[in-house]
Amino acid sequence: MDEILEVLPGEGTVETITRRRVRVRCEKCGGIAVYRYTYLLLGFRRNPASKAYGKDDCSWCCDTEVFTCATCKPMVPEGHDRGASTFPASARFAHMFLEWERVKP
């Protein structure tokens, strides 16, 4: 039988992770995204799998999202009904267009 150790190998190791907020990229061309399109599942108000299930106002609901640059046009994802909302990359919606990128130490 293996001997029980008081201190395990690697125990107490400290790791520092540095992250940087970067702009979301266009899903078609890889350019800087300036629009966020949100989509709802088919039959969203009657579909329990949808975030808009049973809601009257579903303008802020999102089952999936697509980011595009100013020139690329989004296509409705398969299995989704329509676009719920479109958000521009403005000061009000800036948080929607930023994601964390891990910086190597």
Give residue 53's pLDDT band: very low, low, confident or very high (50, 70, 90).
confident
CA 45 – CA 66 distance, rounded (Å): 21
| Model confidence pLDDT, tens digit, residues 2-32 | 889 899 999 999 989 999 999 999 999 999 9
| Model confidence pLDDT, tens digit, residues 55-99 | 778 778 888 999 999 999 988 888 888 777 899 999 999 999 999
pLDDT at 22: 96
pLDDT at 59: 77
Measure the CA dihedral 95/99/100/101, to 10°.
Answer: -150
